[in-house]
A and B are shown apart, each in its own frame.
Chain A
């Protein structure tokens, strides 16, 4: 199972990367951690004339705290995020989700940006980015732009990134106030792609009423999804157990999750609702305690 031939480029600056992307456009693919791309190349499910290796572009890696958000460079290794105690403090939902990605060996090479740009609807980071309202920092040879997560994911393995664009960093907003976060997924075996998963973030006011809530769903559709109706139904309330049952059903009611060899569509909806209920319970509890 060997890849088709390609020309290999190893630029050392983001400027050089985008110049190559501008030159080669759709004949070109960036190589980040390789944990998703290389299997596809090996299976010859995809091929490119040019591969642009991002692993020597040091400026693309790194975690910095900026005003109200955590900026994570696209080439930051998942393992680095996992090990960073600062991340657990300022963006707990990200810290909770990263250990669920595959296995140690995968996270040693896999990157935050790579996972987001690969946009597998059953993967963890897109749902987290969506739930938190993260912003994706994108550059090309001619321009830079910021795209909210809600506009970034367009379809299965498809984002709004144009051929000549590079995902440079992701900005995760830091939620202040009385907040609670929970991430849960159901997979066949430890480390597998999720059959269904939920990334939950909530903020409550001093009376315990929900101020804002975010439910990012993975494995429940062609892209990561926000359960907007369910989120709206929570605002201004202090939901009890039976409210949560209702909200969980609302979260999945209009969804049409995939049907495949691993799980049926019905299964995913059912388990999705179950995880919504579970994560909301935990997040409310955490928010209430804070």
Chain B
């Protein structure tokens, strides 16, 4: 089948790729860009583990073909924290509040929440739950996740959601 040349910016880095049309954006991010933080939990658009930001919107990357992303600006979980490994305030909040256990759904949540707080910096409790209801977690019962969103929304700073958080607390190594 035909391959299509596409040009995408992923986490600020321009990439030129050749992709078969039927390959999903999720697969191309994981394989061609070697960014395996974005995960596949269902491949039919329900679990949200594959969530990435495309041109400023949180989308399910398993429901887009990579070829559709030609010219797009994409942010994945790898692009949220600092290049030296410091956590963004959302990532840090998840850690503080035990918002993850096995970690498989976590990148999808972190991306969703980052975008959620950009659009709605001060969500109510209902808005938080509604806002993350498109992401499934099987380990945490959502307890730490909801607390993490609340905590991240209260974190100080003008550019809260993607501001790199404090240096890792005790035991970050």
Contact = CB atoms under 8 A, between A and B. Distances in A.
Question: Does chain A touch chain B in the assembled complex, meaning CB atoms less than 8 Å apart?
Answer: yes
Interface in B31-66: 43-45, 48, 51, 57-60, 62-65
Contacts of A43: 44
B13 to A, nearest CB: 23
B134 A106 contact: yes
B144 interface: no
Given A34-B63, A105-B51, A190-B130, A2 B57 contact: no
A106 B60 contact: yes
Contact of B134 (A1, A5, A31, A191): A191
Contacts of A104: 58, 112, 116, 131, 134
B43 A42 contact: yes
Given A35-B45, A38-B64, A55-B68, A105 B59 contact: yes
A53 interface: yes
A42 B25 CA distance: 13
B125 to A, nearest CB: 14
A5 B20 contact: yes
Interface residues of B, number: 31
Nearest to A102: B134
A109 B134 contact: no
Interface in A1-21: 1-8, 10
B58 A105 contact: yes
A108 B45 contact: no
Most A CB contacts (10 A, CB to CB) among B63, B64, B70 go to B63
A10 B65 CA distance: 12
A103 interface: yes
Given A34-B64, A55-B68, A190-B133, A105 B22 contact: no
Contacts of A28: none
20 contacts: A2-B43, A3-B22, A5-B20, A5-B22, A8-B65, A31-B68, A35-B60, A35-B63, A38-B24, A38-B45, A38-B62, A39-B63, A41-B22, A53-B65, A79-B57, A104-B116, A104-B134, A105-B59, A105-B134, A106-B60
Smallest CB-CB A-B distances: 3 pairs? A103-B134, A8-B21, A39-B44
Interface of A: 1-8, 10, 31, 34-35, 38-39, 41-43, 51, 53, 55, 79, 102-106, 108-109, 189-191
